Amino acid sequence: MTSAPIDGYLDLDRATYEAIIAHAQSDPHFEVCGMLAIDRGQVVRHYQIPNAERSATFFRMDSTAMKRPWMEIEDNDWGMVIYHSHTHTEAYPSPTDIKEAAHTPGAVYLIVSLQDADAPVIRGFDIIDGKVTERILYVDGEEAPAGRR
């Protein structure tokens, strides 16, 4: 399992955590994507956005569907989390993820892995200037399973 220096944490409530996993499992052969809005440490919005590429190895947020959620997050000064799933690879940013993150500075990235279909994993990262650091994910106060670090 690929690791990155740990820097910071992210709190999720269990309902959101399970909803993200359910979203990934709802279309397990293609990458899914979405956003969370964070206000004062709490998830206040969960937007599921269609993957316009409909690919097992690539995602691109449907531009029309993402517009209002993106603007709502910015207009309210909420924190932005961008998530997507990896259908058969680990929950770690791919080279493409790292490259594309340059266009969305300030977001925290969650990756859901369905590599082990019985034990989906979500891990959280910051990607700044091409450098990946990991946030410890807490779900209702408990550290989320991330596999061996």
Partner 1 sequence: MAIEVRVPTVLRKHTNGEKKVTGSGHTLRELVEDLEIRHPGLRGALIGEDGQLRRFINVYVNDEDARYLGGVETPLSADDEVSILPAVAGG
CA 140 to chain centre: 17
Check residue 100 for interaction with partner 1 (CB under 8 A).
Answer: yes
Q: How far apart are CA 64 and CA 19, in angstroms?
A: 22
Among 82, 121, 137, 146, binds partner 1 (CB under 8 A): 82
Angle at 32 between CA 24 and CA 121, to 5 degrees: 40
Q: Cα 51 from chain centroid?
A: 14
Residue 58 near partner 1 by CB under 8 A: yes
Of the residues 15, 104, 143, 149, which one makes contact with partner 1 according to CB under 8 A: 104
103 binds partner 1 (CB under 8 A): yes
SS3 (DSSP) at 70: helix
- Single out the segment in contact with partner 1 by CB under 8 A; choices: 10-18, 40-48, 97-105, 131-139: 97-105
Stretch that binds partner 1, among 7-15, 22-30, 61-69, 128-136 (CB under 8 A): 61-69
| Helix (H) / strand (E) containing 63 | helix 63-75
Dmax of the chain from CA atoms?
39
Interacting residues with partner 1 (CB under 8 A):
31, 33, 49, 53, 57-61, 63-64, 66-68, 70-71, 82, 84, 93-94, 96-97, 100-106
